Amino acid sequence: MVQQVESIWFDGKLVPWNEAQVHVLTHTLHYGCGVFEGIRAYKLADGGSAVFRLKEHVHRHFNSAKILEMQIPFTEDEICDAILETLQANKMDEGYIRPLSFIGAGAMGVFPGDNPIQTIIATWPWGAYLGEEALDKGIRVKTSSFTRHHVNVMMTKAKTSGNYVNSVLAKREALADGYDEALMLDTEGYVSEATGENIFIVRGDIIKTTPLTSVLDGLTRNSIITVAKDLGYEIVEQRFTRDELYSADEAFFCGTAAEVTPIREVDRRQIGAGTGGRITKHLQTEYFKVVKGENPNYAHWLDRYTV
């Protein structure tokens, strides 16, 4: 359950949590044409607080809106400032941040006409998305019967609300079958991504991840690639199949919510030793150092604020 905090930023001002409401005829509620981001703020090792890759997340948010032909009536800098303002208003030294831009009420029908584009920013406390134990021991994954979007059916580079119906169906199926997460294939049968995470596999000392074809250009994915290369690992962006995943030495998911989560089993097949592997654990450790401000080489990824 989302833990209620004091305020939500709504179209330029902070309003009490329970007053952040929209009309039932809000266009996006009916047709799914909205864009959102998932962002994290971390309490740093030195006692301060910072949002991880704030500017890049907000820039992607605006690109998502551009793809959907939605004109957000604020600048990127204004939304960045609003995110920090919302965290401070809610006295949150760490937590999850959800900006959402959507088409408001007015015209009803597929074409939204001149309906207003509205934006909210909500923040709340949130721990490990897939569970604290998952970060250590890894998770069990099922290949979904639902295929990931084709690039000319949905706009896969936009973080669009309606796209996630696909994820909801896959996640429900996986949980109902006793798994922790769903793995989704693209329309040609290659591994794509999970319901809200990008995927990496390890074979020997080579780390492989799916290229930016059907998958979202994840900022955590980008961060892991950057950190891994800086650590001297070889990264290959290349399509791979389920059977290559089955026989991998290691595998892990990454995302703002999932952070770096090992995969210990896929479709009843144990991956590697059945726990977080050496390279996965190394990258996980280094990633947490980065987001908690313990690696000065990546200080530019942190937007500090005070509570």
Q: How far is CA 122 from the centre of its chain?
A: 15
Average pLDDT score over the chain: 96
**Cα angle, residue 250 at apex, residues 247 and 256 outer, rounded to 5°:** 130
Cβ-count burial of 243 within 10 angstroms (0-12 exposed, 13-18 middle, 19+ buried)? exposed
Question: What is the reported pLDDT for 42?
Answer: 97
- Per-residue pLDDT of 11-55, as tens digits, reads 999 999 999 999 999 999 999 999 999 999 999 999 999 999 999
Q: Rounded to an integer, what distance in angstroms lies between the CA atom of residue 166 and that of residue 159?
A: 13
User: Who contacts 14 (Cβ-Cβ below 8 Å, separation ≥6)?
Assistant: 7, 8, 85, 86, 89
Q: Rounded to an integer, what distance in angstroms lies between the CA atom of residue 169 and that of residue 171?
A: 6
Task: Taking the CA atoms of 263, 256, 293 and 124 in sequence, report the sign of the dihedral they define.
Answer: negative
Q: Per-residue confidence at 1, pLDDT binned at 50, 70, 90? A: confident
Q: Rounded to an integer, what distance in angstroms lies between the CA atom of residue 157 and that of residue 17?
A: 31
Q: Per-residue confidence at 70, pLDDT binned at 50, 70, 90? A: very high
Strands 139-143 and 259-266: parallel
DSSP code at position 152: T
Which contiguous run of DSSP H or E holds residue 135? helix 132-137
Strands 234-237 and 250-255: unpaired
Question: What is the reported pLDDT for 211?
Answer: 96
Instruction: Name the token pair of 298.
Output: 């990546």
Question: What is the reported pLDDT for 94?
Answer: 97
38 within 8 A of 96, measured Cβ to Cβ: yes
- Per-residue pLDDT of 138-190, as tens digits, reads 999 999 999 999 999 998 899 999 999 999 999 999 999 999 999 999 999 99
Q: Rounded to an integer, what distance in angstroms lies between the CA atom of residue 216 and that of residue 222?
A: 11
Which residues are catalytic, by number? 159
Residue 83 has pLDDT above 80, yes or no: yes
Q: Per-residue confidence at 82, pLDDT binned at 50, 70, 90? A: very high
Identify residue 217 by its one-letter amino acid code: D
- Per-residue pLDDT of 200-218, as tens digits, reads 999 999 999 999 988 999 9
Question: What is the reported pLDDT for 69?
Answer: 97
Instruction: Name the token pair of 41.
Output: 């703020």
Q: Rounded to an integer, what distance in angstroms lies between the CA atom of residue 298 and that of residue 286?
A: 11
Q: Rounded to an integer, what distance in angstroms lies between the CA atom of residue 117 and that of residue 97?
A: 20
